[in-house]
A and B are shown apart, each in its own frame.
Chain A
Amino acid sequence: MTTSSTLRPGTGDHAVADPGPPAPRRRRGDGAAALAFLTPSIIMFLVFVLAPTVGVLVLSFYNWNLLSDGTFVGLDNFDRLFHDERLLGVYGSTTYMALAILAVNVVLGLLLAVLLETRMPNWLRGFFRLSFLFPFVVSASAVALIWRFLLNKDLGLVNYLLGLAGVDRIDWLGSSAFAPVSIIIVNSWKTIGFSILVYIAGLQSIPKQLREAAIVDGAGAWTRFWRITFPLLSPTIFFLVVINTINSFQIFAEPRVLTQGGPGDSSRTIVEYLYDRAFGDFDLGYASAIGITFALVLVLLTAIQFWFSRRWTHYS
């Protein structure tokens, strides 16, 4: 149960250590079975993921605006990255917002999911669960409709309520200080139900007997959480850290509909920035170069997370 294992990216055969100590070590792998199990995904991957990705790679060496002839420009698009005065600032605001959203999802999400495990009537539990997931089910247009009304500076509901409490009007969407905070709030609001749901699935998989045994042993709630729940939940936590990192770094809709990335670039994300390069400037090549380098940054981040996970992620 304490055998820790994880992926070491890119290192062949036994990279994902296959635990299962009781299994007699077999000489041959399960190649044929694996192929059968993987084929559906592989076909879909090749045509609808790999092909477009190769397309992006090709585009990054071209100067192309969709409408006129493309020009092969070698590494020019990548060279431009280093002369783009806005890019670093956009990376900065993206990172700031992404880390905050990640923290809210992973920590607050865990707290709420664990609290949901306490004894309560089933209908109440179902009601809470549904409440938390609610924002996740609505589209970006609903997000825009709701939050533009709530967060408007002079004629919005939040400032009106704060005003009753004597708080001065806050420029939620129009100031560099608060625009990213608003994006963090709105995106966390939208995604936390997702994290809670995944946590719940993880918590449900923890054999109740283990915790009940601990109770019999007289372990307190705090001890039980750190000794039993946390280690057994670590694959789920790890999953959410990885996925929420990727998702929160790729935020697009909220800044677009709420702040247009501004003021300045204070709430702009990389994806929004490259979208504007691609479909505002029609500069497909440069947008692809931004996309590829951004993907490499995420790959690096994820690889680090996988590497660290070996220390604390426990698989059965």
Chain B
Amino acid sequence: MNIPRRRVALACAVTALAATALAGCASGSDTSSSSGNNNKALEIVYWNYGPAAESGNKSTADAFMASHPDVKVTLTPVTGENWGTYYANVATLIASGKRPDLMVISGEGAQFVHSNNLVQPINQYLEKDAGAKAITADIAQGLIDGFTVKGDVITLTYGWNDMVVYYNTDAFTKAGLEPPSADWTWDDFKATAKKLTADTNNDGKPDQYGFTWASNEIFPGIMPWVANAGGNLTSDDVCAATVDTPQVNKAVTFLNDLIKEGIAPAPMPMSDVFTRFQNGQVAMFGAGRWPIATFLPAGFKAFDIQLYPKGDTYKTVFGGAGYPILKSSQNPDLAWEYQKFTVSDEIEKQYVGTPDKPGDSIPSRRSVAETISKVGVPPANSDLYYNSIDKYPTLVPYPAPAKYSTFESTVLRHLQQIFAAETSVPDGLKSLQSELSGIVTC
């Protein structure tokens, strides 16, 4: 017996209505602000993670309205501390009857919106639209594959991030090390990290570490190591967990050994890593392009990037974001125009930025991304960002099942125990696998 969403929502609110009537207040009309009646209106929901998100979306909307004078674009910023709370708040909005035309999602959310039947795939537009071919040809195939679920293309990607290693160039110089090259191996990496580890106050414990990774996210955390060991956290169809394989064991053991041998500190969240990288307490860490939006305005430029070291294989781990068209849209054709607009030259240039005000992700259009080094936005090795997805094998699909939030927190919870040495790597992964079997399903 299925009860429509609206009826459940109604049941929840019914006592309120009764109480309102009792108090003699005029009941507010239903606020479902779907753009239904006006054919030339679009409502866009985006994650308002900070001033950059708001100004970026405003200028996109303004530019779109300037080129489409008859269209009214309404922006609905949704605040959230991370993608997870953003999705939760959007879901709450939708439950209350809001019907946006487009909403920003990250690659991790592709399976989620698809399995909840929220989005209108763009396959037919990609076939029919004359301009689409030129756009997709300028976008790395990995970025389209990353947003393809069971053959349905969820959205074009406007910006994305690949996972690369950031290294502190001053720390390398001080330790007398050459900058790493793209073909370094796990052994090279470990030897380098070890040389960057130091006990400067001679208390018998290191206070400067070679490497660390984010404890609160899996993409800039363990994923590159898992991918380069030849593994993944889920099966190719993202329908089953594969975390107790030899490959995942190998990757987690490698990281665990770094902690055990005192080359890496106890893992900490991404934001703490940033500060400690800038002050030299940590010489290397992994992330996408977003750290430069923190480093450059703070005046910190003594860093460069390199690919993750090669294990048994090399695969670039990446994630993107886009504006999928929602099924609830009254104007899918217009929404498609908007989505296309978000990857136009005009908008994509925002993600390049300037040396003082850098973009915080990589433009998805190759021709635009290539201008990063021409504009002179650090780091020196910036061409690597797009090359990593164009010229190297990539990890597709994302290990991002429909219940991504639960999936990620479950993985992190077990990793916490492993890295705190409260369980062995194989045991920890085994219990993780058994718990994930109920979460990663199709």
Residue among A52, A55, A262 making CB contact with B416, cutoff 8 Å: A262
The 5 closest A-B pairs by CB, nearest first: A55-B12, A154-B265, A279-B88, A70-B8, A153-B266
Which residues of chain B in 261-311 are interfacial with respect to chain A, using CB atoms and an 8 Å cutoff? 265-269, 272, 276, 281
Q: Please tell me if the beta carbons of B116 and A169 are within 8 angstroms of each other in the complex.
A: no
> Is B84 among interface residues, defined by CB-CB distance under 8 A?
yes
Residues of A within 8 A of B8 (CB): 58-59, 62, 64, 69-70
Closest-CB distance, A220 to chain B (whole angstroms): 49
Chain A interfacial positions (CB closer than 8 Å to B): 43, 46-47, 50-52, 54-55, 58-59, 62, 64-72, 148-149, 152-155, 163, 169, 171, 174-176, 260-265, 276, 278-282
Interface residue SS majority, chain A? loop
Bound CA–CA A58/B88 (angstroms): 20
- How far is A74 from B112 in the complex, measured between Cα atoms in Å? 26
19 contacts between A and B (CB under 8 A): A51-B15, A64-B8, A65-B116, A66-B5, A67-B95, A68-B116, A69-B5, A70-B7, A70-B8, A72-B3, A154-B206, A154-B207, A155-B281, A174-B416, A175-B422, A263-B413, A263-B420, A265-B413, A276-B409
| Other-chain contact of A67, B116, B266, B268, B422 (Cβ < 8 Å) | B116
**Beta-carbon contacts under 8 Å, B48-80 to A:** none
CB-defined contacts of B216 to chain A, threshold 8 Å: 260
Checking A47, A72, A154 against B19 with a beta-carbon cut-off of 8 angstroms, the contacting residue is A47
Inter-chain contacts of B129 with A (CB < 8 A): none
Partner of A174, one of B4, B88, B266, B405: B266
A90 to B425 alpha-carbon distance, docked (Å):
23
Residue of A nearest to B207 (CB): A155
Among B12, B207, B265: residue with most chain A CB under 10 A: B12
8 other A-B residue contacts (CB within 8 Å) besides A174-B266, A276-B406, A279-B85: A62-B8, A64-B8, A67-B118, A152-B268, A264-B413, A279-B405, A280-B406, A281-B403
Known: A148-B272, A153-B266. A50 touches B19 (CB 8 A): yes
Q: Let me know if B406 and A152 touch, CB within 8 A.
A: no
Indicate whether A67 sits within 8 Å of B419 (C-beta atoms), given known contacts A51-B15, A152-B268, A163-B203.
no
Q: Which residues of A contact B267 (CB under 8 A)?
A: 174
Min C-beta distance of A260 to chain B, whole Å? 7
- B window 361-405: CB within 8 A of A: 403, 405
Is there a chain A Cβ closer than 8 Å to B16's Cβ? yes
Q: Are B405 and A70 in contact (CB under 8 A)?
A: no
In the complex, whether B22 has a CB less than 8 A from a CB of chain A is yes
List B contacts of A264 (CB < 8 A).
413-414, 416-417, 422
Are B265 and A153 touching (Cβ within 8 A)?
Answer: yes
Question: Would B413 and A51 count as touching, CB distance under 8 A?
Answer: no
With both chains docked as a complex, state the minimum distance between the C-beta of B324 and any C-beta of chain A, in angstroms: 14
B412 contacts partner chain A, Cβ-Cβ < 8 Å: yes
Q: Which of A68, A280, A281 has the most CB of B within 10 A?
A: A280
Please report the C-alpha to C-alpha distance between residue A265 and residue B19 in the assembled complex, in whole angstroms. Answer: 40
- Say whether B334 faces chain A, with CB atoms less than 8 Å apart: no
Given contacts A43-B23, A47-B23, A148-B272, contact A71 B420 (CB under 8 A): no
Hey, which chain A residues are within 8 Å of B405, CB to CB? 276, 279-281
Contact partner of B91 (CB less than 8 A), chosen from A51, A66, A152, A155, is A66
Q: Are B3 and A62 interface neighbours, CB within 8 A?
A: yes
* Bound-complex Cα distance A175 to B413 (A): 12
**Is there an interface contact between B266 and A171, defined as CB atoms closer than 8 Å?**
yes
B403 to chain A, nearest CB (A): 6
User: B26 at interface (Cβ–Cβ under 8 A)?
Assistant: no
Docked complex Cα distance between A50 and B413 (Å):
36
Contact assessment for B5 and A67 in the assembled complex, using a CB-CB cutoff below 8 Å:
yes
* Shortest distance from the beta carbon of B186 to any chain A beta carbon, whole Å: 22
Q: Chain B residues near A54 (CB, 8 Å)? A: 12, 15
Contact of A260 among B20, B95, B413 (CB under 8 A): B413
| Docked-complex contact A47 and B20, CB < 8 angstroms | yes
A-contacting residues, B87-105, CB 8 Å? 88, 91-92, 94-95
Closest-by-CB residue of B relative to A265 is B413
Bound-state CA distance A253–B84 (Å) is 16
A62-B3, A260-B409, A260-B413 as given contacts; A67 in contact with B13, CB under 8 Å: no
